[in-house]
Amino acid sequence: MMCQSSPLGRFVLAIFVAANLVACGKGPAPQEPVRAVKVLTVGQSGSATDLEFSGEIRARVESTLSFRVAGKLLSRPVEIGQRVKAGELLAQLDPQDYRVTADAAAAQLVAAQSNREVAGADFKRYQDLHAQGFISLAELQRREVAYISAQAQWKQAQAQSAVQSNQSGYTRLLAEGSGIVTSVDASAGQVLAAGQPVVRIALDGPRDVVFSVGEDKLGLLKTGTQVQIRQWVDGKVRDAVVRDVSASADAVTRSFMAKAALPKDAAPVLGSTVTVSLPLGDALAAKTIKLPTSALRLEAGATSVWVLDPNTMTVKAQAIEVTTADGNDAVVTSGLQNGDQVVVSGVHVLTAGQKVSLFGAVK
């Protein structure tokens, strides 16, 4: 026999079901964990006071020498790195054809000189005959014209002989001054055109340091700027003065070539590598802040970092401007102030306004 439930029983049952439903419902959301982060207190960096470039030692004057005439190269007795003296033979062309041409020009000069002497003697004799009344004035004038023509032909042959003699001498390539051979561009047996490079000589005298400067740092270099040169081979440091900065960028590297003059008593090895240090000064260094690249984050096409608010121990995003890199550090020129605490570790797991704790402060 089934008993019917009373209204009171139904009410108690409803309360029991509601309590179970509440107990099975979703509880409150858990709080976001507090992240432990490392921070860096930004400020002026001592290493930011200098810019460094890689340079090379070169001679102030380097001459690329070539023959003034074409021909077959018979010999080239010099090699790269060899020291030569002024007037020393560097290369020799086959002179045979030029000697034959010079001999022919000399023979033509002798013939022209003979014709000039004969015409001169005739003109003098006809002058005497005209003075005695034996010939007319027209005949005398014809003899004078013949003598003038012979004189001109003699001068022409004389000039031609000198030119051919010079051409024969141009088959010998001589050093214009003392120096070191830095390049050879032709070998024995090669047929050369006039003006084709054969050897390159770095002449003795002043030495320069040649280095390349990026467009963003071009404004820091001017003629007369003092720089320091440190040789890689022995670590010696010398002072130098910028004497020339290229007015146009290299077509490939898009950098600008600069030359700094070394002291007269400095004689480093040609081609050796050096480090060029450019002091920036305190005014510029104070505006420069360096951060490790681990602190940077890219958001919406802009570079930013997490900055810690020490009062609330929360982080906020701060947009910055990075101009260049210095080793593993990024050089920041705007967006931060001295004393700001920037998160340098764990930036990928943070959100704006998140609570954090300090794992360790870096200064």
Give the tokens for residue 137: 């004035």
- Which distant-in-sequence residues (6+ apart) come within 8 Å of 70 by Cβ? 191, 192, 193, 194
CA distance 362 to 344: 9
Its sign, for the CA torsion 91, 93, 99, 101, is negative
- Residues of the chain within CATH 2.40.50.100 domain(s) are 69-94+171-202
Three-state secondary structure along 239-300? Answer: EEEEEEECCCCCCCCCCEEEEEECCCCCCCCCCCEEEEEEECCHHHHCCCEEEEHHHCEEEC
- Architecture per CATH, domain 35-48+285-362, reads as Beta Barrel (2.40)
Per-residue pLDDT, 257: 93
Nearest to 174 by CA among 248, 72, 78: 78
Which pLDDT tens digit goes with each residue over 262-321?
A: 988 887 888 889 999 887 654 444 456 788 888 888 887 788 898 988 888 898 988 888
Question: Distance between CA 134 and CA 128 in Å, rounded?
Answer: 9
At residue 28, the pLDDT reads 53
d(CA 166, CA 71): 15
Query: How far apart (Å, rounded) are the C-alpha atoms in residues 345 and 35?
Result: 11
pLDDT at residue 335 in the model:
83
**DSSP-assigned letter for residue 263:** P
Residue 220: φ, ψ to 5°: -85, -15
Mean pLDDT, the chain, integer: 83
Which pLDDT score is estimated for 38?
Answer: 86
Phi and psi, residue 122, nearest 5° = -60, -45
Question: According to the model, what pLDDT value does residue 112 have?
Answer: 92
The tokens for 146 are 């013949």
φ, ψ of residue 167 to 5 degrees: the values are: -60, -40
Percent of the chain with pLDDT over 90: 40
**Intervals of CATH 2.40.420.20 along the chain:** 35-48+285-362
Q: What is the chain's length?
A: 363
d(CA 209, CA 258): 8
Phi and psi, residue 355, nearest 5°:
-75, 140
CATH of 69-94+171-202, one of 2.40.50.100, 3.40.50.970, 3.40.50.2300, 3.20.20.70: 2.40.50.100
CATH class label, 51-59+205-280: mainly beta
What φ, ψ does residue 232 adopt, rounded to 5°?
-70, -30
In the structure encoding, which two tokens stand for residue 250, read together?
A: 């290299």
- Cβ atoms < 10 Å from Cβ of 202: 20
**Ranges for all domains in the chain classified under CATH 1.10.287:** 96-169
Q: Which residue has the higher pLDDT, 174 or 12?
A: 174
CATH architecture of 96-169: Orthogonal Bundle (1.10)
The pLDDT assigned to 1 comes to 40
pLDDT given for residue 7 in this prediction: 57
